[in-house]
Amino acid sequence: MAFRPVIWFCAIAFLLHSCLLVVSAKKTYIVHMKHHQKPASYATHTEWYSDHFQSLTSAAPDSLLYTYAAAYHGFAAVLTPEEAESIRQSESVLGVYEDTLYSLHTTRTPEFLGLDAGLGPWAGHSLQELNQASQDVIIGVLDSGVWPESKSFSDFNMPNVPARWRGECEAAHDFDPKIHCNKKLIGARFFSKGYDMASGTKESQSPAIRTATAPIRRAPPPALLCRTPVS
């Protein structure tokens, strides 16, 4: 009965293939919640989103990647299509969207956006008006890395960080907030969990990506918060 080992081998191979299909079916989804429906029993939206996620799926707790409670309300999670559909049916959910991995379009953003011709949308305003409008503005940037030693991030003659600032500089390998963040580079964080899931790789978790001469451009993109000078 020499064919029996072959049958067992085929059966094991089939089970392994099935398991791999189940694992590969999981994707990252963004869930948009009706935040105003938060029950009073929850102190924060984050607590409610976490419990709501666990009540609608059998996914492991670490499948919940991020929660959002500022400009956007909801959470990001690793789900199977069936789990995503289950969450979509909830009365507290506005929508469920599969995450998308985007490629870099350009390294020349002003030209790409058509902002290199004269004053662009600021045409017709005086230099004094332009100077006043650009005073002490906090700018958020999604980038592929930051080179904190660059003179672009010098905080020479910069005033103290505005009291309205609520962000943070996140510590990571090769990035020390006490050294690399200052009164101009006031925030730096990395958000790599969705990218890791989509690409199947584990990226270096640090906003600081550089060599001795120039920054290296690669994912995951950190969020950088800088200020314009005050004259």
pLDDT per residue over 150-173, tens digit each?
888 899 988 888 888 888 888 887
Domain encompassing residue 200: 128-227
Please, which pLDDT band fits residue 216 given cuts at 50, 70 and 90?
very low
- pTM value? 0.65
Tell whether the model's pLDDT for residue 63 goes beyond 80: yes
Clarify whether residues 65 and 136 are in a common domain. no
- pLDDT at position 69 is 87
For residue 108, being part of any structural domain is answered with: no
Clarify whether residues 157 and 223 are in a common domain. yes
For residue 196, being part of any structural domain is answered with: yes
- Could you give the CA distance from residue 69 to residue 53 in angstroms, rounded to a whole number? 15
Clarify whether residues 48 and 90 are in a common domain. yes
Tell whether the model's pLDDT for residue 197 goes beyond 80: no
Clarify whether residues 62 and 134 are in a common domain. no
| Span 6-52, pLDDT tens digits | 444 444 444 544 444 444 478 899 999 999 999 999 999 999 999 99
Q: How many CA atoms lie within 13 A of 109 on its CB side?
A: 4
Secondary structure class of 92 (helix, strand, coil) = coil
What is the domain count for the chain? 2
